[in-house]
Amino acid sequence: MFTNYLLLVAVAFLWGATNPLIRRGSAGVENIKSGTAIKQFVAEIIFLITRWQYLVPFLLNQCGSVLYVLTLQDTELSVAVPIANSLSFVFTAISALLLGEQRASLKNYIGMGLVMLGTTICVIAKMENKTTQTS
């Protein structure tokens, strides 16, 4: 069970840490202009898949999705969703900060701390519930 929680943290990392990189890699897609909606869509897709700065973080992000689905086989959804989704926001904030995208305010740090606390409480409660059911 503990291994699954670590895998979910890895999922959150893959999802969260790649978000600022995907944002950077897709810079300029808004400047692509084409005559029709379909041509516009195709031009944007070609632009994105030909930029390694977008493609590498995108593929890593998708690896996180595959890992998430595989982890769901042995993990309860009531624990998997809060761990992966809430921690991905924390990893997004941290990686954006490390990349110099934004300065974190005190409110950001308090929010990240509360997310970590809430996720920890959720995991501990679920683990205690499991141990009382098995004994």
Per-residue pLDDT reduced to its tens digit, 48-85: 999 999 999 999 999 999 999 999 999 888 889 888 98
Per-residue pLDDT reduced to its tens digit, 7-46: 999 999 999 999 999 999 999 999 999 889 999 999 999 9
For the entire predicted model, the pTM comes to: 0.82
Task: Please report, for the chain, the start and end positions of each structural domain, with discontinuous segments joined by +.
Answer: 2-134
Per-residue HEC secondary structure of the chain comes to: CHHHHHHHHHHHHHHHHHHHHHHHHCCCHHHCCCCCHHHHHHHHHHHHHCCHHHHHHHHHHHHHHHHHHHHHCCCCHHHHHHHHHHHHHHHHHHHHHHCCCCCCCHHHHHHHHHHHHHHHHHHHHHHHHHHHHHC
